[in-house]
Every structure is written in C-alpha cells, then in structure tokens.
A and B are shown apart, each in its own frame.
Chain A
Amino acid sequence: MENKAEILNRNRRKMLFGIVMGFGFWHGSQTLKSFFPEQFTTPGISLFHLVVIILGLTGWIYFVFYCCRMVKMIAVLKKNIRLNQTLNDEFYQQIRMRSFYYAFMGVLITQALLLLFSFFFSVSARSVINLNILVCVITPIVSFILLDQDK
C-alpha cells in the first residue's frame, strides 16, 4: 500500500500544476486584453474577445477549484504535524528557496524585456502590472514543479 505522505506529495504536484494552468489562462487572458485594449472597445463581440473571455473564465474556474483543494490539504497537514514535517522536509525547503530565486530572475528578465519593448512601442501601466503578476505567480510554481521532478 502506498504511503500517505507519498499520495499527498503526488497530489500537491497535481494541485500546483492545476493552479499554474488555471492562473496562467485566467491572468494570461487579462494580460492579453491589456496589451490589445482596442479589440475590446470596438462595438460587438469579436472572435478574439470571445476567446479571451472563455479562456479567462475556464482558467478562473480551474484556479479556484485547485486553490480550494490546496486549502483543504493545508488544513489536513495542520492537524498532522508529522505529515507536515515529512512533506515540507529540508529537500522541499531547499527547492522552494531555489524556486523563489528563479522567480526573482524571471521578474528581472521581464523588466528588462519590458524596458526594451517600451523603446519601440507604448506600454500601458496596466499591461506591465498584469505581466508582472503573471510572471511572479507562475515562475516559482513552475520552478518548484520542475525541481520536484524525478530524475
């Protein structure tokens, strides 16, 4: 029979994947919207507009669903200290720190690219904020998933 910690560990990976996909679609669509605002001010619903709305809504549902599952798992871990220690052992603490390092690098690279982009095109503050939030949330989670992979 499989160990409870192993099952929760595998579920954590799945939940993080779900959260990152959901947030990516939800906030990615918002970011796309902020980069092309004229598409949304024209009368009627364009195909682009429709795709962005559907992607955003699907992503939001996905994100909320997996966030709820994650909260439920955290509640289980809070009740079981030993299981919590096992799932957040020093290897996972280390990969969490490395994930934040990669996230910092990701944000730094995004700023540099945005600065470069701003020399040729006008970039709104909303687009910059949206893109930063997207990178800030996605990079550490993706890094964590990749570092946690079996090699």
Chain B
Amino acid sequence: MKLKNTLKVQRAKKNVTQQQLADIVCVTRKTINTIENGRFVPSTALALKLAHALDVTVEELFILEEAY
C-alpha cells in the first residue's frame, strides 16, 4: 500500500515555494522536499498542518494508491 501525495500540485496552485510552506508549518525545506518525493511519510499532525496551510483537506493531499 503506497501513499501518494498531491503536495507539489497544491503548492503550485497556491503559488507557494517549498521554503515558504516549510516556514508556515515549521519544518525544514528538505522535509517538504522528501514528502513531495515520497521518501518520507509525515505524521497525522504534520499532514493536517500542511492541509491547513494549503487550504485543502488531508484526503486531497494524501491518497492511498491501492484505493485507486
């Protein structure tokens, strides 16, 4: 079961850079980069923070690949 994310797309829609998003949710730019690349799966708290920062739901941001 693989977790996909639309972070890059949502970020582009809002015209927010990785660094700006990292500053909002209080993580490093590298953390945002690793999440986008699928190398790191964030905790529920961070996923909620990211969703809130990008004004989307967590389900819009993270998708379980098996379900599709």
Please report A residues at the B interface, Cβ cutoff 8 Å. Answer: 3, 5-6, 9, 82, 85-87, 89-92, 94, 148, 150-151
Contact = CB atoms under 8 A, between A and B. Distances in A.
Contacts of B27: 86, 89-91
B52 interface: no
A91 B26 CA distance: 12
Contacts of B19: 3, 6
Contacts of B22: 3, 5, 86
Contact of B30 (A9, A82, A85): A9
Interface residues of B, number: 17
A148 to B, nearest CB: 7
A71 B30 CA distance: 23
A6 to B, nearest CB: 6
B28 A86 contact: yes
A90 B30 CA distance: 11
A110 B27 CA distance: 36
Contacts of A87: 28
Given A86-B22, A90-B46, 17 more contacts: A3-B19, A3-B22, A5-B22, A5-B28, A6-B29, A82-B26, A85-B26, A86-B27, A86-B28, A89-B27, A89-B28, A89-B31, A90-B27, A91-B27, A91-B34, A92-B28, A92-B31
